[in-house]
Structure 1
């Protein structure tokens, strides 16, 4: 069964075959975990997201299907994309170890039905606001969001403590929410920041 195609495994999974499900999990776990781990840079959270993706696959096994090439990978990595966006849409999660997070409640799909103009406009406003910030705030933020450096790497490069870097990035996010809040809801800004972070290298 280990050499079975994704299509065959999914046929068995729809019949509640747990062994086939385990084989499919084993086949894609490492790739999914590595993909998500790079994005969110939190090992335990990445594992939780992967587990949630496979639990979702099992719960929706009767509706989930492979693509025309017989692969389940597009479904899994599509689920990973939305899982990461949902993870980052909690604004505080953008800075590791942040507390008192506000969880974004609206479905992500609602924003994808809008014209691309909304995203482009908000990104432009965010860029303008970031450019206006002092270097002590702007540089750590850009290193984190644009170069995907970790808090530890930024602290080392700038000769700052990790807590200072966290505080500076948190301050940028707070300023962005405050300055853009008069035009957009807080949850919308959170989501746009999340999308901009996730898709920056795509």
Structure 2
């Protein structure tokens, strides 16, 4: 195995060495970013095994396609996680339970007026969000619009995680009742 010179342990040099097939450079990058990538996948999926599988696929792909240059590895990993989660969501629609109700909205006409219907739906959705109590609205937007974990929301708002979860449950139920036909 090739040795990595400690003074070259920055991402740019490691990525260049990776392109040349240096397994040690790959191992350093893997060890450096595995946990962060796993955490990113886990916060989106909430499933440890699926998260590990996604991370493994991403790093395997990096090794297989090592000749393709990567300029910003953290950004590349983040986008890869997002894309893998989207692929998994397409296979298993149970990953995003809040938005399942969108699948149940009947599609009477999928033609020229579908864009207008979507805009009307989104306007109704925003109007309903604005009717939520301010704190509940803030919690909902942080969780579902900004993808902030409930633990972080609780810490930021100085409330318990259970309170955050209860407020999310109440917001989701209120939106489901109102938005379902």
| TM-score, length of structure 1 as denominator length | 0.48
Mapping 1:76-115, distance limit 5 Å:
76-89=77-90, 90-95=92-97
**Structure 1: runs of 5 or more not aligned:** 96-117, 132-138, 161-167, 180-202
Taking only aligned residues, the RMSD between alpha carbons, in angstroms, comes to 4.2
Tell me the residue number matched to 1:56. Answer: 61
Structure with greater helix percent: 2
> How far did 1:93 drift?
2.0
> Per chain length, whose mean CA-contact separation is higher, i.e. which structure has more relative contact order (CA < 8 Å, sep 6+)?
1
> How far did 1:23 drift?
0.7
Write out the 4+ residue segments of structure 1 that deviate beyond 3 Å after TM superposition: 120-124, 126-131, 142-150
Q: 3-state DSSP class of the match of 2:70?
A: coil
Looking at structure 1, the residues matched to 122 and 88 of structure 2 have their Cα atoms a distance apart, in angstroms, of 20
> How far did 1:24 drift?
0.6
Mapping 1:68-83, distance limit 5 Å:
71-83=72-84
Could you tell me whether the CA contact under 8 Å between 1:65 and 1:72 is conserved in 2?
Answer: yes
Could you tell me whether the CA contact under 8 Å between 1:10 and 1:20 is conserved in 2?
Answer: yes
> How far did 1:92 drift?
1.8
| Correspondent of 2:50 among 26, 45, 49 | 45
**Structure 2: runs of 5 or more not aligned:** 98-114, 129-135, 152-161
> How far did 1:28 drift?
0.8
Could you tell me whether the CA contact under 8 Å between 1:57 and 1:64 is conserved in 2?
Answer: no
Which entry has the higher C-alpha Rg, 1 or 2?
2
